[in-house]
Chains A and B, each alone.
Chain A
Amino acid sequence: MTYNDKGKGMTSRSGIYRRSIPLRAMILGGAMAALSLVGIADTARADSAPAAGAVAMRRLTQEQYRQIITDVFGSTVSLGGRFEPDVRDAGLLAVGAGQVSVTAAGLEQYDNMARSIAAQVVDEKHRALLVPCKPASDTAADDACAKQFLSKVGRLLYRRPLTDRELASQVAAANASATKVKNFYSGLGLSLAGLLEAPQFLFRQEAVEPDPDHAGWYRLTAYSKASRLSFFLWNAAPDPELLTAAEKGDLNTSSGLKKQVDRMLASPRVETGVRAFFSDMLAFDGFNTLAKDTTLYPKFTSNVLSDSQEQTLRTIVDHLLVQTGDYRDLFTTHKTFLTPLLASIYRVQATFPEGVLAPWVPFEFPADVPQAGILTEASFVGLHSQPGRSSATVRGKALREVMLCQKVPDPPGNVNFNLVQDTTNPNFKTARQRLKAHATEATCVGCHKLMDPVGLALENFDTIGGYRSMENGAAIDASGELDGLKFNDVVGLGKAVHDNPATSNCIVNRLYEFAAGHKPNKSESEWMKSDLQKNFEASGYKFPDLLRNIASSDVFYRALPPQTGAIDTPSPSKLASEH
């Protein structure tokens, strides 16, 4: 079933499930709740069916929007607007992106950005480079040139070729406007702005089709496969080569898919994808609102804020992609990267190149200092702290939920935090002493047992990541226990996290959820356990192998049987018939 192009009804088209409504109508009509998730229920899957997940309609994240504009129009085109905040669900913004709509205010921002971008693309500075043809006259409509430009750009923005009807509509709009204002480029810009405001651009609409090789099974259409693959590995829309592979049907063959996966994994752009995943998993969006008491911590500047995130991302990229190291070693490694400001935070001497504005240098902490692993970096201990003090509880909760994928219940509403928050009480000088007194309340004990033994191991780091051995004149005891494994200090905690099976299983699950954009259903969970986790272990916990395994798997592109109201983007075969 499909809505027709005017959104006034539904028509049936064989094997293709599609919905197309103007974005403004979707929002103003209050229809987003129905659209935010496609109407595909995993409960409909028969027991004998293969592992397969739901498809989703996901709003582009801020980074994805920026990346697409940069890829299509270049880095000199600025956005000129602000984004609505992304929403985190199941630990990931990538999953939350399937739960969000666009508010009226958000639509206004999208409109501002679309007009701003379009105006820049067709201005005198950019048009010679970005518009592949010259109109017969700058002051009149030019059907052929408008068609050439809009078909080329539309393919990249919609992540598929425009249908004949879509293209004709956009060209007609450009021509009408150009005729009215007597300016070809103004008309072209208007149509381009329309493309940039369209739900087909702003939302990643995944479409499914029957799998011709397995009766009763469904899979993503080739263009949806291309999008899912590209956003997974590059956090970007498919490039022309991948779109061409989709168009030719290559992505529906093992060899064709392998060729594209190999190409994309070999590209430097995979770093962008890895950074996007870990920024999401580590909840770095929290830095947007992170504040510290700068009276107590005057070192905490905005540059420290950004450097902290970058330090961890550089550490991860180098360890996982460059060194192809064991993922679990991220929790024990002494190797990292520093800027002068971070070296100041950690109070270490590092040699930086002269004359470089913001130098980064590789750095290795000595073996017997406590800075070991990403848990001890400012991005973790700083992000999961209070503005003026550390927080063993917040850090413990974050470690459990972010690194081990374990859920810690929220505190009850009537908890009295006074004892924990008063760092000046002479009877409770350290966080351990304060939490011990606090956790005597029966309603608190259970959760604090989960959080505090791991969080207290990070107490040697203050709220911005600086090392300390004392708190209020009392020595800090950083011993603790994680799921039965006891340790004496934060280095021991890192080893405990390294050796905990939940650590490697968590990264597998999170990565798949990031890639697929939804929480896995039972069949997917079983597949992850029997396939992804097992292979990850067999590979020596090599992250690139995990990326490849997901990107190459059938399950990643398989879909549950569609139900009424499912969304469709045209398949190559259908597009061919329309053209």
Chain B
Amino acid sequence: MPQIEVNGKSYETDEEGYLVNLADWNMDVANYIAKTENLNMTEQHWEVIDFLRKYYDEFQIAPAVRVLTKAIGKKLGPEKGNSQYLYELFPYGPGKQACKVAGLPKPTGCI
């Protein structure tokens, strides 16, 4: 299994760099993964990450795109409650890229 090393500690990931163990996640690891994705983490990014982790905690899956946009819209205003805003934050797709930074498993299927 591939690993990443952050602050002298190593963490197991899958072939694409998604954390294998949910409990391994912390801010430093998230920042490290974000850097490998060429993301410049801002407060707006963390809002999304925070929501994803809370949702996952409750439902054991990342939220549907629409659930996510709605939640963000409620929190940050309707002009941000759309997938375009999320794609600006996470250009490779809010589903996959944001999940990766949030330390959640990669959603797969016909998506």
A binds B: no
Residues of A within 8 A of B (CB): none
